[in-house]
Amino acid sequence: MPKSVAIPGLDPNRWRILGVIAIAQLMVVLDSSIVNIAIPSATKDLGISIANRQWIITAYTLAFGSLLLLGGRIGDFVGRKKIFIIGLIGFAGASALGGIASTQHLLFAARALQGVFGALLAPAALSIVSVTFTEPKERAKAFGVYGAISGGGAAIGLILGGFLTEYFSWRWCLGVNVPIAIIAAILATLVVKESKSGGDHSYDMPGVITATAGLFSLVYGFNRAATNGWGNTSTLAFFVVALFLLLAFVRIELKVANPLLPMRVLLERNRGGSYLGSLIVGAGLFSMFLFLGLYLQTVLGYSPLKSGFAFLPFTAGIIIFAGIASNLLPKIGPKPLMIPGLLMGSIGLLLLTRITPDTSYVAHVLPALLIMSSGMALVFIPISTTSLHGVGNRDAGVASALINTSQQIGGSLGTALLNTVAATASASYATAHTDLGEKMNLYSATHGFTIAFTVSAALLAIGAVVLALFINIGKESVVETEDAVAMQ
């Protein structure tokens, strides 16, 4: 971390503040993936069905993603430091509850509660970075650190999850958050300065209710499709309710005085394209960790720790290429980085469609991870910059929250959808290949994973098209945006 230098107008503790934010953000990102490796153990321990196992992930990402906008607004209005600390303490408590869960429903509830407090914590963290680093070059470095953590933290979580599951218990994948959160909260009270926005501080609760209920209904519809089929009446009913509620949300946001999601933030083409692209990336990438982790453990027979280390090349690629991306961004702008990055991610996922129960990690998994990680690192940092293009101080929290919101909601929808796709493909394969005997389960499960990877690859390719159409700022505009925000 660079040494703090006493420059007039700049916070002398700004790099220490970034260190605190980095600890908190790493914890939040880790929690999106750390339980992936623990899923087989938790499923067996608590008797969780194949159709319901996705709720270990989705309960967290859905609560997190659907409440991030409200969390961003609360941080802007009440005080970013205060909400940051409350988020950390609440996250610690929810993690402890999940660690001692005796039933699957208590585990799902604890994961959802983690998401609630994460929704307070994450936007406050990014907003604190935005208002603390006002000098453009320093801000680029700060976002580089933040982006590297956001991109590489998921794979680090898989390694840590493997270690804890194998040598302690899957429960420690949740319990480990408690000391981390407490340490971060103590440090935050010492170094972080309070900041908040002015103006009317009313909340859009009808928007919160319709958005959250609509997203839950959509995800639950995907879950019902896995067990009852796409054409089932109850499945279709949840999709219809989701559509109604989400349309009602849009109507509310257009009419209320202080909307949860101000259209002025969403409708600027570069910001809007960034949020849509981030949603698609979340849908395509999050499920990769779930299915590849299951493949390594249940098909190849890897231990939890070995499975975690199998993702280490992904982490290394993210860290290396995030540094490259942060240096190239001011020189060439965001678009020449993001589009090739997404295409590389898509190619990496397509390579994973070649796996079978008989293929090896080195020949079929490792090349895919290296290509994916190098590509996605070129996306994470530029998309954080374009998502805040030209945003004012009053909307800093909601704009910061939107990039996380879109990614988490994309992850929730993608995990639910692709879990259904994989389960359906596996069942169809098993029906058509009854001659495989004892190998049936391995081959049908692997077939389901490859179909899910195919859909994920298509989603990342669509994301590249979206960003190509929406993003029109170059390197000059990136610098101008930083200067403009620094003057807020």
Mean pLDDT of 119-129: 82
Phi/psi for 351 (5° steps) reads: -65, -30
- Which domain range does residue 240 map to? 204-257
Question: CB neighbours of 19 closer than 8 A, spacing ≥ 6?
Answer: 1, 187
**Residue 6 counted as domain residue:** no
Q: Residue 151's pLDDT is what? A: 59
pLDDT at 72 exceeding the cut of 80: no
Q: 237-246, 383-392, 417-426: lowest mean pLDDT where?
A: 383-392
99 and 167 share a domain?
A: yes
**Contact by Cβ (8 Å): 355, 293:** no
At 485 the pLDDT is 42
Distance, CA of 464 to CA of 78 (rounded, Å): 37
Domain count, the chain: 2
With contact defined as beta carbons under 8 Å apart, do 429 and 238 qualify? no
Could you tell me if 39 and 173 lie in one domain? yes
At 487 the pLDDT is 35
Is 243 a member of any domain? yes
For the cut 70, the answer to whether the pLDDT of residue 421 exceeds it is yes
Residue 436 confidence (pLDDT): 72
Residues 198 and 247 in one domain: no
Q: 103 and 239 share a domain?
A: no
C-alpha dihedral over 268, 274, 278, 281, to 10 degrees? Answer: 130
pLDDT over threshold 80, residue 135: no
In a domain, 98, yes or no: yes
Shared-domain flag, residues 74 and 221:
no
Domain limit, last residue, from 223, 257, 291: 257
The reply to whether 441 falls in a domain is yes
Position 486 confidence tier, pLDDT thresholds 50, 70, 90: very low
pLDDT per residue over 167-213, tens digit each? 888 898 888 889 989 998 998 888 878 877 665 566 778 888 888 88
**Average pLDDT over all residues of the chain:** 81
Asked if 438 and 448 sit in the same domain, the reply is yes
Q: How far apart are CA 330 and CA 75, in angstroms?
A: 29
Question: Which pair of tokens denotes residue 469?
Answer: 């159409």
Provide the pLDDT confidence category of residue 483 given band limits of 50, 70 and 90.
very low
pLDDT at 463 over 60: yes
Decide if 126 is inside a domain.
yes
The band of 4, judged by pLDDT with boundaries at 50, 70 and 90, is: very low
What is the structure's pLDDT at 333?
Answer: 81
Token digits for 268?
């600027």
pLDDT by residue (tens digit) across 81-99?
A: 889 899 999 999 999 998 8
When comparing pLDDT for 445 and 433, which is higher? 445
Residues in the chain, how many? 488
Range with the largest mean pLDDT of 12-21, 210-219, 283-292, 365-374: 365-374
Q: Which residues of 6-45 are buried (b: 16+ CB within 10 A; e: fewer)?
A: eeeeebebbbbbbebbbbbbbbbbbbbbbbbbbbbbbbeb
The residue among 191, 224, 257 that closes a domain is 257
Spatial neighbors of 274 by CB under 8 A, at least 6 apart, are 383, 386, 387, 389, 403, 467, 470, 471
Instruction: Examine the fold and report which residue of 257, 284, 302 is the final residue of a domain before the chain moves on.
Output: 257
Report CA Rg, the chain: 21
Average the pLDDT over 31-47 and give the result: 80
If DSSP states are collapsed to H, E and C, what string results for the chain? CCCCCCCCCCCCCHHHHHHHHHHHHHHHHHHHHCCCCCHHHHHHHHCCCCCCCCHHHHHHHHHHHHHHHHHHHHHHHHCHHHHHHHHHHHHHHHHHHHHCCCCHHHHHHHHHHHHHHHHHHHHHHHHHHHHHCCCHHHHHHHHHHHHHHHHHHHHHHHHHHHHHHHHCCCCHHHHCHHHHHHHHHHHHHHHCCCCCCCCCCCCCHHHHHHHHHHHHHHHHHHHHHHHHCCCCHHHHHHHHHHHHHHHHHHHHHHHCCCCCCCHHHHCCHHHHHHHHHHHHHHHHHHHHHHHHHHHHHHHCCCCHHHHHHHCHHHHHHHHHHHHHHHHHHHHHCCHHHHHHHHHHHHHHHHHHCCCCCCCCHHHHHHHHHHHHHHHHHHHHHHHHHHCCCCCCHHHHHHHHHHHHHHHHHHHHHHHHHHHHHHHHHHHHHHHHCHHHHHHHHHHHHHHHHHHHHHHHHHHHHHHHHHHHHHCCCCHHHHHHHHHHHHCC
Mean pLDDT value across residues 312-316: 83
Position 150 scores a pLDDT of 65
Summarised one tens digit per residue, pLDDT across range 254-278 is 888 778 778 888 878 888 888 999 8
- Cβ(425)–Cβ(451) below 8 Å: yes
pLDDT of residue 8: 47
Provide the CATH number for the domain around residue 62. Answer: 1.20.1250.20
pLDDT for res 155: 66
| pLDDT of the residue at 452 | 92
Residue entry with tokens 């603390």: 132
**Is the predicted pLDDT of residue 20 greater than 80, yes or no?**
yes
According to the model, what pLDDT value does residue 476 have?
A: 59
426: nearest Cα among 408, 405, 406, 440: 440
Residues 127 and 138 in one domain: yes
Residues 322 and 236 in one domain: no
What is the rounded distance in angstroms from the CA atom of residue 37 to the CA atom of residue 311?
Answer: 11
Is 74's pLDDT higher than 70? Answer: yes
d(CA 291, CA 346): 16
Mean pLDDT of 140-165: 73
Burial of 363 (0-12, 13-18, 19+ CB in 10 A): exposed
What is the pLDDT, as a whole number, of residue 288?
82
Among 6-10, 263-267, 293-297, the least confident range: 6-10
Instruction: Check: CB of residue 4 under 8 Å from CB of residue 135.
Output: no
Mean pLDDT is lowest, of 232-236, 413-417, 461-465, for 413-417
The answer to whether residues 472 and 334 belong to one domain is: yes
Residue 3 lies in a domain: no
Query: 147 and 221, same structural domain?
Result: no
Residues 282 and 214 both lie in one domain: no
Do 366 and 397 fall within a single domain?
A: yes
Q: Is a pLDDT exceeding 50 seen at residue 6?
A: no
Confidence of residue 48 (pLDDT cuts 50, 70, 90): confident
Share of the chain above pLDDT 90, in %: 17
Could you tell me which residues come within 8 angstroms of residue 236 by beta carbon, excluding any fewer than 6 positions away? 221
Q: Is there a domain that residue 439 lies in?
A: yes
Tokens of 277: 């692209």
**Judging by beta carbons within 10 Å of its beta carbon (0-12, 13-18, 19+), is residue 428 exposed, middle or buried?**
middle
> CA-to-CA distance for 444 and 422, rounded, in angstroms?
9
Judge whether 232 lies within some domain. Answer: yes
Q: Structure pTM?
A: 0.76
pLDDT of residue 201: 63
Q: Between these two residues, 197 and 379, which has the higher pLDDT value?
A: 379
